[in-house]
Amino acid sequence: MIILDRALERREAEGNPIRVGIVGAGYMARGIAAQASSTTGMEVVAISNRTPETAAHVFEEIASGDIIRAHSPDELEEAMSRGVRVVSDDASVLCRADGVDVIIETTGEVEFGARVVLDALSARKHVVLVNAELDATVGPILKTKADAAGVVLTNTDGDEPGVAMNLLRYVRTIGLQPVLTGNIKGFIDPHRTPDTQAAFAESVGQRPKMITSFADGTKLSMEATIVANAAGFRVAQRGMKGRACAHVRDVLDAFDPSELLSGGLVDYVLGAEPGSGAFVVGHGVDPIPQQYLRYFKMGDGPFYVFYTPWHLPHAEAPLTAARAVLFQDAAVTPLGRPFCDVVALAKRDLARGEVLDGIGGFTCYGVIENADVAQRDRLLPMGLSEGCELVSDVGDDQPIGYADVRLPDGRIADALRREQDALFAPRDVSEAT
């Protein structure tokens, strides 16, 4: 962050702003577009959405000026040369246009998002994912493809995974060993549905399914999985422990020291002040640093809690894009093989013949599990659950396996997941780095 401002100022002075294409025009995309458009050295040149009129409205809120609809990369490039902003109903127009430096994918859709990312990587575009659903499901295989293309694939800073990874990198850099990281969560009820969340969703201008995914813990599990796969961490138990604390600093009282030294864990605290953000616990036994950490009110050690009491994904996504373009640095990206996964559990008793309605729906919710267990037991990834037809009954709160469902035909996300599972065979969690 400290060097980004100078690097962006240079791009502005040179008349060579980072040119951003945004896929999606929903709640988060609107905030990101506004922030990126006011960021020195950056320009939002195009927004893709299935309804281009919605994308145009996002541009109209930001500033005045001409907006055209492009149907091809050539049309987009010609408009860019004239300084005209572009909307399209085809994300590939943005992904394949020369001069677009980075794609920010904001849809939260697994199948559609997978197609966008593959398109962008084939055109050697950096990709910022504001799409935890996609990253938690097939992030590791997409990272291998980004590496092969020589570009950066990263989840966004500002959302909890990026905030946690910033802290984790900081803790490691000052000589401590990160042993625990996680979110600060206020509420979880796995049986919440779009009906129970409809009023709140309307009050904040978001979709009920999205709000339900927050309330039922699915999004939390996906964010924890993203961090685990970036840090090489695991979970102490399926679903994490989620200890209640008065303040995030009290997280040390919720874990036995031997657990914290077992190779690195992701978890969360529930109902803790400051109410938002992410935390990292670092471990260090060197007596001289301990003396200074004690003096500066970090405690007696050997465990120390670091936390950021906010997360601002709309503000940080443009800076994540700048990190990728200017420094080839990912805010948070898989190390390689998956360490954790998000598996689907039934929200109620489900009967053979029912069709699962996916993330934030009425039929199932997601919980984090160690990847080797999920693969060994052939558990259905939550990100692939939508549209699956049950071929057997599944009881309330029971895991749903591949053997319990018939997958929809022809999905690219299923093909990616098969490729990921084949490439990364389960290995001992003690090999975590």
Q: List Cβ neighbours of 9 (8 Å cut-off, separation of 6 or more).
A: 40, 41
CB 159 within 8 A of CB 313: yes
Using alpha carbons, list the distances in angstroms from residue 258 to 281, 282, 303, 382. Answer: 14, 14, 12, 31
Helix 2-13 to helix 313-327 angle (10° resolution) is 70
Residue 427's pLDDT band, with cuts at 50, 70 and 90, is low
**Token pair of 64, please?**
């005045």
- 209-218 burial by CB neighbour count: b if 16+ within 10 A, else e? bbbbbbbbbb
Per-residue pLDDT tens for 130-172?
999 999 999 999 999 999 999 999 999 999 999 999 999 999 9
What's the pLDDT tens digit per position in 202-228? 998 889 999 999 999 999 999 999 999
Q: In what helix (H) or strand (E) does residue 308 lie, and over which residues does it extend?
A: strand 303-308
What mean pLDDT do residues 83-87 have? Answer: 95
Task: Sort strands 364-370 and 340-346 into parallel, antiparallel or unpaired.
Answer: antiparallel
Residues in a beta bridge with 48 = 23, 88
Dist CA 141 CA 277 (whole Å): 28
Question: How would DSSP label each residue in 107-148?
Answer: ---HHHHHHHHHHHHHTT-EEEE--HHHHHHHHHHHHHHHHH
pTM of the model: 0.95
The answer to whether the CB of 27 falls within 8 A of the CB of 205 is yes
Identity of the amino acid at 372: D
Name which residue leads in pLDDT, 406 or 255.
406
Q: What percent of the chain has pLDDT over 70?
A: 98
pLDDT over 90 for what percent of the chain?
A: 93
Q: How confident is the model at residue 64 (pLDDT cuts 50, 70, 90)?
A: confident
∠ at Cα 399 (109, 359), nearest 5°? 20
What number of CA atoms fall less than 13 Å from residue 358's CA on the CB side? 17
Identify the pLDDT of residue 205: 85
Q: Tell me the mean pLDDT in the region 64-83.
A: 95
Number of helices followed by number of strands (H, E) in the chain: 16, 16
Asked if the model's pLDDT at residue 287 lies above 80, the reply is yes
Distance, CA of 233 to CA of 242 (rounded, Å): 16
Residue 249 contacts residue 152 (beta carbons within 8 Å): no
**d(C-alpha 77, C-alpha 21), whole Å:** 12
Tokens 């009881």 locate to: 395
Task: List Cβ neighbours of 30 (8 Å cut-off, separation of 6 or more).
Answer: 58, 61
Contact between residue 188 and residue 216 where contact means Cβ atoms under 8 Å apart: yes
Mean pLDDT across 1-22: 94
Structure tokens at 54: 């919605």
The tokens for 101 are 């430096």
Cis peptide before 302 (omega within 30 of 0): yes
For the chain, what's the residue count? Answer: 433
**Helical packing angle, 110-122 and 412-423, nearest 10°:** 70
Q: What average pLDDT does this structure show over 171-193?
A: 96
Q: What are phi and psi of 197, to 5 degrees?
A: -100, 0
Contacts with 262 (C-beta within 8 Å, 6 or more apart), sequence order: 236
**Averaged confidence pLDDT in the chain:** 95
Count CA atoms closer than 13 A to 364's CA, side-chain side.
33
Mapping DSSP onto H, E and C, the string for 166-198 reads HHHHHHHHCCCEEEEEEEEECCCCCCCCHHHHH
Pairwise CA distance, residues 159 & 319, whole Å: 12
Confidence of residue 429 (pLDDT cuts 50, 70, 90): very low
Which tens digits make up the pLDDT trace of 226-284? 999 999 999 999 999 999 999 999 999 888 899 899 889 999 999 999 999 999 999 99
Predicted confidence (pLDDT) per residue in 360-394, tens digit:
999 999 999 999 999 999 999 999 999 999 999 99
State residue 426's pLDDT score: 66
Which amino acid, residue 216? D
Instruction: Give the SS3 label for residue 47.
Output: strand
